Structure formats: structure tokens, C-alpha cells
Structure 1
Amino acid sequence: MSLLLLATAASGIAAGNGVATDTMLFEGAILLGVATLFVMIFRRLGLGAVLGYLIAGALVGPHGLGLVGGGESKLAFAEIGIAFLLFLVGLELHPRRLWELRRAIFGLGMAQVVVSGLILTALILATLGFSWQAALALGLPLALSSTAQVLPSLKSSGTINSPFGEKAFSILLFQDLAIVPMITIVAALSRAPADPSAPPGWQMGLYTVGAIAALVLVGRFIVNPLLRLVGRYGERELFVVVGLLVVLASAAFMHSLHLSTALGAFIAGVMLADSPYRHEIEADVEPFRLVLLGLFFLAVGMVLDVGAVMERPWLVLGLAAGLVAVKVGVLTGIARVYGMSWKAALGLGLLLSQGGEFGFLLFTQASDALLIAPEAASLFSAVVTLSMVSTPFLMLFARNLEFAPDRDGQELAGPEDAPRGSALVIGYGRFGQIVSQMLHAVDCSVTLIDKKPSQIELSERFDTKVYFGDGLRLDLLRRAGADDVKLIVYCIDDRSVDAAALRPVVEAFPNAKVLMRVFDRRQLMAIDGAGASGAVREVFESSIALGLMALEQLDIDRREIEDVEAALRHLDEVRLDAQLVDGDLSAGMDHRFQPGGSREGTSILEKLRETRRAAKLAKEEAEGEPFA
């Protein structure tokens, strides 16, 4: 990513006259309009949004109809979307989990980059007549895959945390790390005069280690305390600002050291993975990621040199097909060595068979280093773009073959394999286990679904069959038999689930009652209007249980304890109704017990006590002797 280029473009617009602003608005309207049309068409055809963005960009770009220019500058801006994507992925990976993936990152990832890069280098050297230096500068970048294409696919399918998804992510993460040595190799082979401002390779390596350490310290001692401070104010806008600040500041810091900006954003995300505000930040940053990634693929389509393709179409198509074939073969073979089944290994090869967005950057650097001609850089950029265009078709082929994530050579069973039951329990953690036990107690047949492979494996040790999948996906619920069940119970620990995520489930399966476990009243307000039949706040019920225990330890009369619980529940119900109506957490603040007494709380307690006294008096009169 070129943040410097972005800043230059932004300052040019700010300093220029109205013509620049008019052009920006006009081009933006064209891009969004054509993108909307093509994405809808390709979604309708089942080919995915990415291909729609690529075709739309190529159509309106300078090499197509010429309606929009400046593809390179838009690409530099849009690559911020990759940083946002890596940041969100980092939020889902606790540092301990990242350490557990080290073998896949530095074993599987390194093997893929080295083997694929050397084979592609040898083929270019043998067939196209380049020098070995030029072939190496072209072959190594071609070994990289598209993070911007692969990770959204893994996230949307719910397989990012499966063994299959973790292997794919590990390879992509190592590829991001490999950018530093690749830049060093190009610089070492350069025929251009040395740039005195560019740091040597060993210094970049030290910069990488130091930068990662610095980001870790900043995340722990600055960002986390800042989030706690922001959390006290409860302002949504501040979370948005802090989320954007973390992503852009970490990316800018890495860019200033000539390192991978996406890697910096990823490290920042990992440092916040155990923050209590992780879900809040994720929900705030996600819309920016979606928009910027869409713009990224539009820009990739715009920089596709259609003229270079049309001059030598068979050569470009042959090179793109060769690139995909080599990477599929290499990845399938390496994945088999690492114990994956043939089906999952071939699925991994198809998933990562395309060229990557960082190839554009490395081809430009190789051209600046006088290792390849600008025409060669344009040619291989077209090859990478065409390989990215092929990915949706390859993934469609993979889905038709029913590729599934593997688990040490075995497949995780999907819910389509489950016997049909009367209830679906989504999430089989500590909460879901208790709910499912109560359903089993009344002989209700239950299908259990969870998207965490580790939880599925743990459950099997206790002879409990749990099926793999994301229970918020309508297609998966249908395969699990949701059209015929009476009950769908969400026991997942995901505070980002809101009405927008839950409403499609309620509307798609009107015969099923939908119940939801929510974390607190904030999430309960977020799902309001989704049509769920009921929801339980985990922290509310558990805190009441502990509060009752605390009153018992103070030797409070049992009847007084019961009155306090009844009054508290009534106050909370009234307060929650006010919050739902106003959409404001501060509503109904007077309906709670406070130090020094509460008018509403005291009034309710007095009514309860009076009711209890009246009931006692009536009971005594009923049990007494009749009057003479």
C-alpha cells in the first residue's frame, strides 16, 4: 500500500480547484453505479461479488471505455481495505492461538512460497527467455496469493477457524511476511543506481522484529487503556474513531519503515483479540472493510491492461492458466505431505491458486530496478489479474465437488448428515450444554451445531455428536432441517449478533420459535425488532444468582430476599422497556436500587411487603376459630 500516494492525492484534491472535486464525484458515481449493477448480476449468476467488481473496473477503466482514470492511485487507496481485513482477522486470533499455528505458518507457508516460487522461476527462465535475475523477480511474486480474495471467502463460509481455514490463513500470513525478503532480493539484484534512502535487507529484518514488538507494547499499554477510557463514555462514535485510528496508525507506522502495512494492522488486531471491546470495534470497522475491499477489486480491474492482453491473448491466457495449474499442483502436494485428505488438499490448492495483489507492487519494483521492462511488468500484472478472475469459477467448481474442511485427514460432518430433530441448538459451549441437557430431559430430539472445530473434538470425547457450521447461515440451517423444527436456540458467545443477523432466520423459518442467548442489555437492545420469541441475558441471571447468595450470607430473612429479587426484576423490566423505546442506555435510570435508597425501588418493596402481610393475615383468619 502506498499511503504516501494516498496522502498526495488527498492533498491535491484539497488544494485544487472545483474541477478536481467535480471529477472525483463524477468518477465515484460511475464506479459505484457500474459496480452495483455488475455485482448484482454476478451474485444472481452465483459467481460472487469479486468477479463483478473486477469486470466493472475493467469496463469503465482507462483500458476499457475510459470513463474513469487513475487506476493506480485508486488501487493505492483501496489497499487500505486489505489492512482493515487483516485487522479484523487479527481480532479473532488470540496470541496463544497464533502461537499454536506457528508450525503451519513457518512450515506449510514457507514450503508453499519457496517451492512455488522456484518452480515458476524455472518455467519462466526456460520458456520466455528472461535472464535468471528477471525470472526470479517475476517467479517469486507469482507465488503469492490474494489475501483480499481468500480471507473474505473463508469468513463468509464460517471456515476461518476450522483446520482447513487455519491452514489457508497460515499460508497467507507467511506470504505477507515473505514480502520483506522478496523486496530485499529485488534490491540485491537491481541494476539501477542504489537508492541511498532505502535501508539494506538486514536492517529491514531488524525493523520488522522491532516494529512487531513496538505494536505489541502499544496495544497493551496504550490502546487497551484508551479503550477502557472510551468505554466509560459509552459513545459509539468514539469507538469508530479509535478503531480507525488503530488500523491507520499501525499501517502508517509499518509503511514508514518500508514494511507490510497489512502485517502491521494484523498485529494490532491480535493485540486487541482479548479486549472486552473487541466485538464493538469489529462491528464499527467492518463497514469500512467492505467498502474499501470492493474499491480495491474495482481498481484491480481498472489497471488490467486490456491492450496487452489483446496483443498476445494466447500468451497471457496460457501464462495465467500455467500459474493456476502450478500453484494448485504444488499446494495439493504440500498439503498432502502435511496430512490433509486429497479432497481438502485439492480444495486448498484451488483456493490459493491465484496471483496476489502484492505482485503488482513487486513487479513495479522489479521494473524500477531495471530487472524487467515496463512492458513485462504490465504483461505479468495482466496475468495476475486474470488468475484472480478465475478464482470464483474455481471455487464454484470446488463447491460442486463438496470440498469440506479437514481435521487431521478426517472430515468434519456438516449438519446435512444429522438425523432430523425437533430443535436446533446453535453453539455447544458451557451455555449450550445446559440447554441441550434440559431438552434431552423431556425427550426432545436435538441437533447440535458449532463452528469451532476444537469444541466439536472435545464434545466427541464425551460421546456427543456436534455438527460443523455457522448457525446464522440460512443455507446451513435448511440443510440441518430448520424448516421442520419447532425450536432454534442460539447459545453462541457472539456479541456482534444483532437484529440484522437474526431477522432473516426468524423470517425464513416461521414455524420455529427462535430463542437467543445475549450477553447484556446492550445486545438485547441490538436484537430488538428481530422477531425472536425470547432472549436471556447471561450476565443478568448469573449476577442475580450470586446476589441472592450474597444476601443469604448476610443472614437476611428469606422472605425479604424474595421481595428484593422480585422488586429488582420488576425495576429492570420497566427500565429495559424504556431503553428499548428510546434506544438509549440512559433511559429509566431512576428504576434501580442506588446507595441511599431509591424512590421507585422502595415503593415496590413496600407494596410487596404489604401484599405479603395481607396474605399472612388472610391465612391466619382462615385458619382461626369462627366467631360465635
Structure 2
Amino acid sequence: MPHEESLLGAAVVFLLAAVLIVPLAKRLQLGAVLGYLFAGVIIGPSVLGLIGNPQSVSHISELGVVLLLFIIGLELSPKRLWVMRKAVFGVGLAQVLLTGLVIGSVALLAFGQPLNSAVVLGLGLALSSTAFGLQSLAERKELNAPHGRLAFAILLFQDIAAIPLIAMVPLLAGATHEPGTSDGLTHGLRVLGSIAIVVVGGRYLLRPVFRAVAKTKLQEVSTATALLVVIGTAWLMDLVGVSMALGAFLAGLLLADSEYRHELEAQIEPFKGLLLGLFFISVGMGANLSLLINTPVTVIGLTLLLVAIKLPLLFFIGRLAGGLGRQSALRLGLVLAAGGEFAFVVFQIGRDQGLFDASLYDTLVLTITLSMAMTPLLLLAISRLIKPKPVPAREVPDEYRAIDGDTPRVVIAGMGRMGQIVSRILRAQNVPFIALDTSVETIEFTRSFGNVPVFYGDPLRPEILRAAKVDQAEYFVIATDDPDTNIKTAELVRKLYPHMKIIARARNRQHVHRLMDLDAQAIRETFYSSLEMSRRTLVGLGLSEEQAKARIDRFKRHDEQVLNAQHLVYDDEAKVMQTAVEARAELAQLFEADRREEEDAQLSS
């Protein structure tokens, strides 16, 4: 695309790349962050060249990091930090310092980098991707696992550590190029003064401003105010030569305990997601693939070296400081072994400040990008190689297995939400019953309310049904939450006890039809609650209680008639659809006739 391309055209390219590539990456279990990076590589100058100048969007894309830091600040309330203090400030600090020391030493001794550059390299590469790590854990439902909780704590400290690191890079560069102490002192005073302005102004001005805006009850003004606080604070910090991210973080931290915290987070989140995605796309656009083609050994070797350094250190820290088992410590290392998004920011500032040359910066960006690409593949490989140990089933006490009770009039299969309500009503009416369930936890919970006759047993086993004295009961209520189990249970009960009256829970109309084939009375899970919700809605819209009840009764009778009619053709999808269309038109006519009758009755009275 030519340089005089319009902003609108560039926006179309960015959005189209994100819409096409990010869902594909998610489907391949690679994660959204990697999808954005790939999208940037594809539309960047290295491949298609749809965006010829990646720097043209760098300033806008940096707002994504700014907003991310603001959200992190909002989430870091003092109380939350205090609860997690050992994991965050203990394990997290150990990880950043140890990893930074090792990587910095390698950069200094093995690659001959200057001391200032080695410090930035070590601490920058010690950071991991918060967005990437948390997303990987969430996709695998491991956030509440031991390694997931420790990974969250480490990432939390890394986010905090990134703030002074970003602010420290210009100082390190200044120490290299401006040895005078007066300029450094002036710069330090300006930084402290700007931080003081943000803290004092935020504490005494932000809450009254948000209170006044909230009284207007205008959503767009509230959103504009939130963006003004974030971007304005970031701009103020940028004026004095400090990272914009530091200002945003301070603004979020000041509002962490505010009553407007959740409102702010909800308003900023959509902008943060889009702009952070744009940031990753711009990083991908800046990836110099020619390096991978011309010097593949160097780039791939550095990528493997980064993972080879961080993974054992994280494993060691997880085992020693975090108290994790071997498998959990290994998973922790895999999640956090790659580089992070803040390293892009740190190294970009380092390049602009003269700490790195352009070729080293390109190599670092490509190395971090490749390390991120490796992480999902390593997680998939480890999940297949190391199967999690199955959780041993709880031993069933003998008193739960021994089905003993009076001759029941009702047998209930399944003591979940529906089964418990049925049992409570029967018990209140002194109707003898026996209930069966295959969950020890459910049985314990139910029995904790008194001497409830619930026992451990699979209703699909004939000997369990005999032990429950189903042959002497009048009704068999099937209330498990698995439709297939309900249908199979109804089939077995109908086969063994042909004259039994069966009432079974059904999830949808197809399950109703299959239960009707077994001469069982099917009760749809949400049908009656939906009718009650509709009745209350009609009353709220102005109908009287009598009118609303009449409409609901009319719908219920009509739906039952349609259900019976569809049962005759439920295996023919075309006929079912035709019946549904005809029934919809008929119902509308019936409602219209009811409305006219009511109007005529009002006129005659």
C-alpha cells in the first residue's frame, strides 16, 4: 500500500487481518496474542507489504500498553497485594532478579554487551507475557491449579517491575551518553515532581470529577472522562521524559479502591483490547523476517537459548520457592519461558535511546516472537506426553450402598437441582420415597439436611433398581442432568416394569419425543420457568394478571397440541419445520382473537 494511504484504508487492513487470522490462531490453540503477531507479520513489509511503514502506527499502538497498565493498576488494590504478598514479592522478586542476573551475565560475558545494555537485556528478557500466559492458563482451565496461581503471582510482580524498568531505560542510556550529574539530577527531580502531581492530583481531584460526571448519567461523557484520565496522565509523564505506562499505572493504582473502579474497567476494557491487539500487530509488522532467512542459526539459536535459560530457572524457583511438584513446576516454566510484551516496549525505548543498534533490536523482537510461537506447541506436547494423574474416586461408604427404607411410592433417579425439589415436596407430604445418585458429594450434602433416604446407585443397573424396590413403587422420577442417561433409564425401567408410571426430565423437544415413545411423561427443564418469566413480563408491560394468565394458558395448551402433532413426524425435519411455521401463525391468530374478545367485552360493559 502506498505511503499516502488513508487512515481509513489502514484501519480496514488491520481489522481484516485481525478478523481473519486471530480466530484461526485460536482454533489452532495458539492463542490470540500469537494470532495478532502473525497478522502483523503477514500484512507487514516482510510479506505482503500492505502497510509499508510500521512506525506510522507505533504511537497509536502504544496506547494499548498504556491502557493495559491502567487496568493492572486498577486490579492492584493494597488488600489484594497483602494477601498475595509472599508469592508476589517473594517468588516474583526471586524470579525477576535471578533470571535477569543469569541472562544479563550471558549478554555481558558471552556476547560482549556493555554493562548498561546487559542490564536492560537481562531484566527485559526476564519478563514474561501477562496476556499470553494468563490466556494460555485460562484456555486450559489451569488458572486455579497450583502452577496457575503461582504463575499469576509472578506475572503480577513482573507487571509491577516493568514500570521502574521502563522508566530506568532512559536513565541508563543517559548514564552512557550524558555523564554530567546536573542533567541527571534535574531529570530525576522532574520525574519525582510529575509523580507527586499525579499522586496528589489523583487523590484529591479524580474522585470529585468522577462523582460529578456520574451525576450527568451520560455514558459517553463517563467514557470520555475515563480516557482523559488515562491518556492525560500518560501524556503528562511523557512530557517529563518518563514512560507513559508509568503514568497510566499510577492513575489506575490511585483508583483501585474507588467506588468507580468497576465502571472504569468496563469502559476502558474494549479500547484496551483493540489497541493492545494493534500493538501486537505492529510488533509483528516490525519483525524482520529477512534475519530468519539470512541468519536462521543465530535467530533460532537465541530463541532456544532464551527458553533453555528461563525454563530451568522457573522450574527451580517453582520447586524451591513455590513448593510445586515436578509436573506443576514444569508447566509453570513452559507458560513463562517465552519473552513478554513489555520486553518489546523496553527494547524499543532502548533502541531509541541508543542502547541497542537496529540489527540487535530486530534480532531481539524476532527472538521473543519465536519464543511466544514455541510456547503453545510446547504446552500441547507436554500435555500429550505427561497425562495428568486421574483423581481417585472417593470411596463409597457402606451405609450409602446399603439401600434400605420403607416400601417407596416414588423412586427418584438423580438428586441434583430438580431431584432435590421433588424430594423436599414429597418429604413434606410424608410420601415415602427412595432416591438414587452416583455422586458421593451430592449424597453427603443431601443427607446433611436430615435423614433423607438417598443412596449410592446407578439407575442403569437392574440389580440397583431391584434393591430400591422399584417394583413396589407407583412412580419413577428421572431427574439426572444428562438427557441420554434419562432416556436409557426410561428404556430400562419400561422394559423391566412395563406398568410403571415414569416422569422424566427432558432438555428439548427431541428428548420429549423420544420419552413419549416410551410412554413416559416428559417435563422440559426450562419450560415452566420460562412461562412464569413471560407472565411477569406481560404484567410489567401493562396487561392485567388475568390477561397475562390467559395468554400463558393459551400458549401452554397450544404448545402441547403442537408437541403432540410433531411427535407423529419428529423424525422428518422438513415436516417439523412446516408444523412449527404453521403453529406460529395459528398462535398469532389465537392471540389476536383473544385481544378482540377482550376489547368487545370492554365496550359492551
Do 2:54 and 2:282's aligned partners in 1 also have CA atoms closer than 8 Å?
yes
Runs of 5+ unmatched residues, structure 1: 1-18, 405-410, 426-434, 450-458, 463-480, 487-508, 512-529, 538-569, 579-628
Offset, 1:213 = 3.6
Q: What residue number does 1:173 align with? A: 159
Q: What SS does structure 2 have at the residue aligned with 1:79? A: helix
Q: What residue number does 2:373 align with? A: 389
Q: Give matches, 1:225-374, under 5 Å.
A: 225-338=208-321, 339-367=323-351, 370-374=354-358
Offset, 1:179 = 0.8
Larger deviation, residues 200-209 vs 238-247: 200-209
Q: Give matches, 1:431-510, under 5 Å.
A: 483=482
Do 1:57 and 1:301's aligned partners in 2 also have CA atoms closer than 8 Å?
yes
Match of 2:40 among 38, 57, 77: 57
What is the one-letter code of the residue matched to 1:250?
A: T
Aligned partners of 2:270 and 2:527: how far apart in 1? Answer: 24
Going from structure 1 to structure 2, the CA distance change for 1:131 and 1:285 (only over 3 Å counts) comes to closer
Do 1:252 and 1:261's aligned partners in 2 also have CA atoms closer than 8 Å?
yes
Q: What residue number does 1:121 align with? A: 104
Q: What residue number does 2:496 align with? A: none
Aligned partners of 2:127 and 2:265: how far apart in 1? Answer: 27
Are 2:79 and 1:96 aligned?
Answer: yes
Going from structure 1 to structure 2, the CA distance change for 1:26 and 1:484 (only over 3 Å counts) comes to same
Going from structure 1 to structure 2, the CA distance change for 1:141 and 1:279 (only over 3 Å counts) comes to closer
Q: Give matches, 1:16-165, under 5 Å.
A: 22-153=5-136, 163-164=149-150
Aligned partners of 2:162 and 2:180: how far apart in 1? Answer: 25
Larger deviation, residues 189-198 vs 296-305: 189-198
What is the percentage of aligned positions where both structures have the same residue? 34
Do 1:332 and 1:349's aligned partners in 2 also have CA atoms closer than 8 Å?
yes
Going from structure 1 to structure 2, the CA distance change for 1:362 and 1:44 (only over 3 Å counts) comes to closer
What is the one-letter code of the residue matched to 2:315?
A: T
Q: What residue number does 1:466 align with? A: none
TM-score if structure 2 supplies the norm length?
A: 0.60
Q: What SS does structure 2 have at the residue aligned with 1:190? A: helix
Match of 1:379 among 360, 363, 376: 363
Larger deviation, residues 348-357 vs 171-180: 171-180
Offset, 1:536 = 13
Going from structure 1 to structure 2, the CA distance change for 1:78 and 1:370 (only over 3 Å counts) comes to closer
TM-score if structure 1 supplies the norm length?
A: 0.58
Do 1:38 and 1:56's aligned partners in 2 also have CA atoms closer than 8 Å?
yes
Aligned partners of 1:363 and 1:296: how far apart in 2? Answer: 14
Q: What residue number does 2:461 align with? A: none
Q: What SS does structure 2 have at the residue aligned with 1:187? A: helix
Do 1:184 and 1:200's aligned partners in 2 also have CA atoms closer than 8 Å?
no
Aligned partners of 1:401 and 1:187: how far apart in 2? Answer: 46
What is the one-letter code of the residue matched to 2:209?
A: L
Aligned partners of 2:531 and 2:188: how far apart in 1? Answer: 56
Match of 2:173 among 170, 173, 187: 187
Larger deviation, residues 317-326 vs 239-248: 239-248
Do 2:87 and 2:153's aligned partners in 1 also have CA atoms closer than 8 Å?
yes
Offset, 1:274 = 4.1
Larger deviation, residues 308-317 vs 88-97: 88-97
Runs of 5+ unmatched residues, structure 2: 397-412, 429-434, 449-479, 486-506, 510-525, 543-605
Offset, 1:128 = 3.1
Do 1:78 and 1:295's aligned partners in 2 also have CA atoms closer than 8 Å?
yes
**1:190-230 per-position Cα deviation (integer Å, ceiling 9, x unaligned):** 1467698666786588468646743xx61x43333333333
Do 1:324 and 1:387's aligned partners in 2 also have CA atoms closer than 8 Å?
yes
4+ runs deviating over 6 angstroms: 155-162, 192-198, 401-404, 413-421, 441-449, 534-537, 572-575
What is the one-letter code of the residue matched to 2:297?
A: W
What is the one-letter code of the residue matched to 1:179?
A: L
What is the one-letter code of the residue matched to 1:318?
A: G
Aligned partners of 2:157 and 2:298: how far apart in 1? Answer: 29
